[in-house]
Structure 1
């Protein structure tokens, strides 16, 4: 598994090429923006057809990651479901896969703007969750330190390559989206340029995580 370890708020965290964050000392896996059921929601609202297997693909990649790392706990940073109806309309097979993942370890759901209410998949729900020096939430704030969030689906472009990317500075980390078929916001966008400090890194995901100064 390709990785990029880095210090953050008194801890050592590892950016994985998959777009997940690993806190080895706590055996904690953190992922963001699964957007399960995106294609179903898109079709339900009259959008053009999307390949219907994104939930199965996202869950398969997550299952493989959990099998590899055997985390003691998992945190999902919000927008885990594309909306409440998408969660209810998941296939029986996908529901069984998710129940199996959630019921075998402490599982923490952070509520997001797409899924603000608890859903019937086990685990515990929080708006913000703190462990040690770190605080996990869905949308980054401009205050405090040790904050880990998602929501923006950051991407970075280097030469002719655009990839989902972690954004990291002294105070905060913004994770890329883990879900299949999720879009992305270029890290040159003023929203992200304002949130992130001038010395921020972008860690591009992929076969080999690539840390570069955050493009602006």
Structure 2
């Protein structure tokens, strides 16, 4: 089945809003795994407004499934990932002041930069993934960098699905087929939720992993974290 990696950024946001250590980020990570989650994702940003760099270090000894650190590969981020050595690093082209991820990489214009970064991480035994829009030429560009996987940016699909337009899945199917054709593993994430995930999973071939945070945590406020993790797993089977 497709693996579920739970992004726990929102837990850190809640913790930081009050100070102290409630909710306990490390305990939540352990609980997510205990409830069946198959990975933990974090996205530290330079201002540490939610996940702090120290959180990444602390989680390294806690996460027993797959540990995915995503972010813009600025020097401080690269140093952090090389120190922590997670299972996977996902490269995301965030502006420093971005509220959330809002675009995939232009893998053609940034080919040389991405190739250097990917090489650095792979030399240290870290699986690498590049965040991309569902555009076939961008997936082909990603393959040239030597990356292991791409992660499809799924906001456009989620918006169209919410409007009742199932045709919004079409570019994602083509992107998934192209990724498989050029030998890349396939991840996906952003605005996937309990309403749209089953359809996405059923339509997208070769989907290895989804990373879900905001929706999963919001739904958990109503339905309970253990219940929601297992509801996601049900949709991915």
Judge same fold: TM > 0.5, yes or no.
no
Greater share of helix? 2
Greater share of strand? 1
TM-score band by shorter chain is 0.3 to 0.5
